[in-house]
Amino acid sequence: MSYPSPTEPGLVGLARAARWTGIRLRMGDAIGKGFSLLPIPIVYAIAALTYMKLAQPGPKLEAFLCWAGLALLLLPLGRSLYACFRRQPRYFGAMALDRHHGYRDRISNALAFGDLPASQRTPFMQAAMQDAVVTARSLKPRRAAPLHVPLELPVVAVLVALLGGLALLEVRTQRMVAPGRHLTPLVLAPDDLDLLKETAQQLAQQNQDPETLAALQRFNGLIEDIAQKRLDRSDVFGTLQQIERDLNRAGESEREALDEGLKALARELEKSALSKPLREPLESKKLDDAQRAMRELAEKLRRNKPPSKAELEQLRQALQKASQASSERLKQLEKMREELSQQRRLLQRKEQRSSDKQRQLEKLDRQLQRLDRQKQRSELAARQLSELDRQLASAAEKLFQELGLSAQDLERAAQDLNRLAEKQQSEQEKQKLLKQIEELRQLLRQQGQGGSQQMTRLLLFGQHARGEKGQGSQGKKGQPGKGQGQGQQGELPALGLGLSRGAGSMGGAEMPGAGVQGSPPKAGQGGPSAPDKGWGAGHDPNVKGEKSGTQAKTKDVSAAAVDTGEGSASSEVIYGAAQRGFVGRGYQKVYTDYKNVAERGMGQDQIPPGYRFYVQRYFQLIRPRE
Amino acid sequence: MADAENVREDVRAFQQKIGALREEIGRVIVGNREVIDGVLTCILGGSHALLEGVPGLGKTMLVRTLADALGLKFSRIQFTPDLMPADIIGTTVVDQTAAGGHVFEFRKGPVFANLVLADEVNRATPKTQSALLEAMQEHHVTVGRTSYRIEEPYFVLATQNPLEMEGTYPLPEAQLDRFFFKLEMPFPNREELHSIVDRTTTDHEVQVKSVLGREDILAMQKLVRSVPVARHVQDYAIRLLQATHPNSDIAPPKVRRYVRIGASPRGVQAILLASKARALFEGRFAAATDDIRASAPPALRHRILLSFEGEAEGISTDAVIREIIDQLPQAGV
């Protein structure tokens, strides 16, 4: 065996192998240490992701959890880096090579001796170095420092797969919404709903005012919501109130003020024979008529034959006063108020301490408040009528100078009246809708009092009206018998006037199924009962003509469109319809006639809110159902 | 280059001599390779060994054979409680000269030999033990005003019987520390017993030849001390010694719990010398950490003093040393 010199590249090769082994050891250590801690952040990530998916915390907490995860990830990373770069013994790699090859520290000793200055090396050291070079000819750093697959790798792989799966998994979570209130939906009979819809449609067709149309749209939405059973009573009432508010109920004071202003105007214009025709329409707030009358007056002034000077003077004074009516009234109110205030001050100064003084003071206060309100209204009226006043004043001024110019001013005044009329029209439309809302409110109130039984009855009636024989209808359907007695008579006789044969018997007790408020009479209700007691007893004393036959002659006569006087009487038609459901062409005619008369009547008379709806509902319930 | 070649030659010669010695001893002693190597290590390290084993395991035979094979002067002292120091180191007697006069003459005791077997050393009184231990440490004996040098190489092999501890005087720690190694004589296995029986119950008689001389031993001792120890290997030996101390930072839990006093610096000296010898035994030119690990148990087991808890739980010092070796990293930063 020939021993090389220690300066030979052999020792350099040993050093290189030792260094490479050291690097591999560091890498292996870093991998192992890193993997040993890697499950911690992954497990955390799984837990955090699960929590985030299930609990869905706020973005703040999610961000915190993410940051915490990143911080945890630094654990294995930091440990790896520390293992990779921590200080190691100088012959760390060489020792590993010695261990692996079983060289009994030959390489590390040789490198240690090689690091010494040559002068300090003993022969033994040189021999040891040469021995190492000769012995360690084929070093295997890869085997000496193998990069093992970390034991934790399967665990980490499983956890990572779990994490990936979890990230892809979309967990459907039910958001914890605050428990909603228990909705007891408001239920209206389909007939009522239909009626409300129809009314709303009619109003929409008549209306042009955008505010009213918007309110109508909301009203329709409300009806739709009720039909879909999405609202309870309080919701409905709340929405109705809101619509009412939108319709600007505050405009009532404006209307009142305008009424007052117009009346004052009318009073002044009455004083002239020429302008007298304006009084009536202005007082009754028929602004279209007033406008027409104003134009006629202007036309009179333009005629070839103008009015006499006295008439013109009278007209001038009337127009002038009329133009100043609002301001005069304001001044008058102001004066009154000043006087009352003066009285109050005097009363306060009196050293009288009695209850009389107090009462007087209170009375004065009330009067002052009333005057304030009147003043407000007058101011409002003055604002609304300012243009009209201006035109009238101008017309009065020019009356003796140039009649044509004066007429022009009156024309302009007529235009202003037209503006007021249009405004009034929209107000009327609003009023109609408000009335409808009030009707609905009343209906709901009544329904609330009637309870579910009333609704059941209405639904059952609707079923019968369509000619269906529902379950248990035997006992419920209107049986022929005596109808409502005294209580109802006289309410509807007008409906039958001049309609057809036997129509006068409407108020009679023989109308089948006409129970209280349209409810069908129950079985046996029509039977004989004690005189003057209960319903179904007695007769209308105003019965005219012969008693209608109670035998329903339901045989149709093919003589349509030709009133031959043949066919069933109206009462017979109604009776037949009540028995088989409200269908048939004959019934259609009778129904339309009756309904028109009823509506006309309602249009002429003052009917309290809610009652109009009853009548409407009645006709809605008994409408022909083809 | 020449020096290195000489070294290689010396090491090769050393190995041959050790091989011959082992072979010669092996003709008489069956097995016990570790004990024989341990004893040889002690001789080459220039120090002494404490051999512990039950009677009849061939302790005396080993030393006698060793003495014959090494061609050294051998003496055996059976320690008993009434043994006096003068009995072992010698005494001054009045002698008549040829001229008829009387002179005081020092008659050397049995310690004046190259190989001394101190059998059952723990049975003698401390006074007698200390007389032997002085000779062991100083390699000379002082009687009166005269010191008598003991001829080199000087090797004492003391034996102890781990049983029959009644009426014995256990060696104090300071004296135990003077022993290079404490070797434990294992009980022979079945094969070895067969060989022992075959050799001792027949008329087969073996004459041990002297394979080494006194000069050889001295040269070999010198060669052992020439073996270099790299810094990191020496550092490992030192850390190993430090780890035997319960207050040390690197002491393993077992040491902290069961050790009262750790090994003295003589321990690491013994380890390193033994490692050097071991490297030469194997034909290497420098001591390795493996040598340190192999030498640590015999060099430290009698230098570590167990705590009461360790004694109570029957913990052996070997177990403590094994724990240290297992847990101590080979290289320190």
Q: Give per-residue pLDDT as tens, A362-381.
A: 888 888 888 888 777 777 77
- C-alpha closest to that of A274 among A244, A236, A316: A316
Chain B residues with CB-CB distance to A106 below 8 A: 284, 286, 288
- Choose between A73 and A431: higher pLDDT: A73
Chain B residues with CB-CB distance to A120 below 8 A: none
Residue range B44-66: mean pLDDT, rounded = 85
Helices marked H in A466-569? 473-476
Cβ burial, residue B50 (10 Å; 0-12/13-18/19+): buried
Question: Is B286 close to A130, i.e. CB distance below 8 A?
Answer: no
Cis peptide before B153 (omega within 30 of 0): yes
Residue range A330-337: mean pLDDT, rounded = 83
Distances B56 to A500, B186, B188, B193, B197 between C-alpha atoms, Å? 152, 11, 11, 12, 12
Q: Are A133 and A14 in contact (CB under 8 A)?
A: yes
Q: Is the ipTM, as predicted for this complex, more than 0.90? A: no
- Choose between A331 and A177: higher pLDDT: A331
How does B211-223 read in b/e, with b if 16+ C-beta sit within 10 Å? bbeeebbebbbeb
Query: How far apart, in whole angstroms, are the C-alpha atoms of residue B31 and residue B189?
Result: 9
pLDDT band at A7 (very low <50, low <70, confident <90, very high): low
- C-alpha closest to that of B47 among B287, B299, B230, B252: B299
The label of the residue with tokens 């109604």 reads: A574
Please say if the pLDDT value at position A445 is more than 80: no
Interface test with A, best of B284, B291, B295 (most A CBs within 10 A): B284
pLDDT band at A403 (very low <50, low <70, confident <90, very high): low
Phi and psi at residue B199, in whole multiples of 5°? -80, -30
Tokens representing B40? 């040889």
Residue range A129-135: mean pLDDT, rounded = 86
pLDDT band at B14 (very low <50, low <70, confident <90, very high): very high
Cβ burial, residue A554 (10 Å; 0-12/13-18/19+): middle
Highest mean predicted confidence (pLDDT) among A243-247, A535-539, B67-71: B67-71
Residue of chain B whose Cα is closest to the Cα of A4: B1
Residue range A321-334: mean pLDDT, rounded = 77
| E runs forming strands in A163-277 | none
Residue range A41-64: mean pLDDT, rounded = 87
The identity of residue B305, as a single letter, is L
Distances A448 to A298, A454, A456 between C-alpha atoms, Å? 58, 9, 13
Please say if the pLDDT value at position A606 is more than 80: no
Residue range A439-462: mean pLDDT, rounded = 72
The tally of CA atoms less than 13 A away on the side-chain side of residue B51 is 33
Chain A residues with CB-CB distance to B333 below 8 A: 87-89
Tell me the residue length of chain B.
Answer: 333
Query: How far apart, in whole angstroms, are the C-alpha atoms of residue A1 and residue B253?
Result: 48
pLDDT band at A514 (very low <50, low <70, confident <90, very high): very low
Interface test with B, best of A21, A101, A109 (most B CBs within 10 A): A109
Facing residue for A123 by CB, picked from B6, B287, B332 = B6
Facing residue for A127 by CB, picked from B7, B232, B287 = B7
**pLDDT for A549:** 63
Query: How far apart, in whole angstroms, are the C-alpha atoms of residue A120 and residue A125?
Result: 9
Q: Are A129 and B271 in contact (CB under 8 A)?
A: no
**pLDDT for A141:** 83
Residue of chain B whose Cα is closest to the Cα of A104: B288
Q: Looking at the complex, report in whole angstroms how far the Cα of residue B51 sits from the nearest Cα belonging to chain A.
A: 28
Please say if the pLDDT value at position B281 is more than 70: yes
- Choose between A296 and A124: higher pLDDT: A124
Highest mean predicted confidence (pLDDT) among A178-192, A279-293, A387-401, A523-537: A279-293
Tokens representing B89? 């180191």
Distances B171 to A234, B75, B87, B122, B302 between C-alpha atoms, Å? 107, 21, 19, 6, 10
Interface residues of A toward B, Cβ cutoff 8 Å, are 3, 5, 87-92, 95, 98-99, 104-106, 108-109, 112-113, 122-128, 130-131
Phi and psi at residue B49, in whole multiples of 5°? -130, 145
**pLDDT for B321:** 93
Q: Looking at the complex, report in whole angstroms how far the Cα of residue B9 sits from the nearest Cα belonging to chain A.
A: 11
Question: Is A124 close to B289, i.e. CB distance below 8 A?
Answer: no
Query: How far apart, in whole angstroms, are the C-alpha atoms of residue A306 and residue A300?
Result: 7
| DSSP bridge partners of B261 | B305
Work out the mean pLDDT of chain B and round it to a whole number.
Answer: 87
Facing residue for B228 by CB, picked from A87, A92, A122 = A122
**pLDDT for A620:** 78
CA dihedral A139, A144, A147, A148 (to 10 degrees): 140
pLDDT band at A626 (very low <50, low <70, confident <90, very high): low
Chain A residues with CB-CB distance to B8 below 8 A: 3, 127
The identity of residue A338, as a single letter, is E
For residue A273, the 8-state DSSP code is: T
Compute and round to an integer the Cα radius of gyration of chain B: 21
Facing residue for A112 by CB, picked from B232, B282, B291 = B232
How does B262-275 read in b/e, with b if 16+ C-beta sit within 10 Å? bbbebbbbbbbbbb
Tokens representing B317? 């010092």
Chain A residues with CB-CB distance to B288 below 8 A: 98, 104-106, 109
For residue B250, the 8-state DSSP code is: T
The label of the residue with tokens 């009806």 reads: A223
Helices marked H in A86-174? 92-101, 106-115, 123-135, 141-144, 153-168
Cis peptide before A512 (omega within 30 of 0): no
Q: Looking at the complex, report in whole angstroms how far the Cα of residue B240 sits from the nearest Cα belonging to chain A.
A: 16
Q: Are B153 and B215 in contact (CB under 8 A)?
A: no
- C-alpha closest to that of B274 among B233, B320, B318: B233
B33 Cβ contact partners less than 8 Å away, ≥ 6 residues apart: B22
Q: What angle do CA A610, A616, A621 make, to 5 degrees?
A: 120
> Pairing mode, if any, of strands B49-52 and B115-119?
unpaired
Tally of helices (H runs) and strands (E runs) in chain B: 14, 11
- Tell me how far the alpha carbon of residue A180 is from its chain's centroid: 17
- C-alpha closest to that of A461 among A518, A538, A542: A518
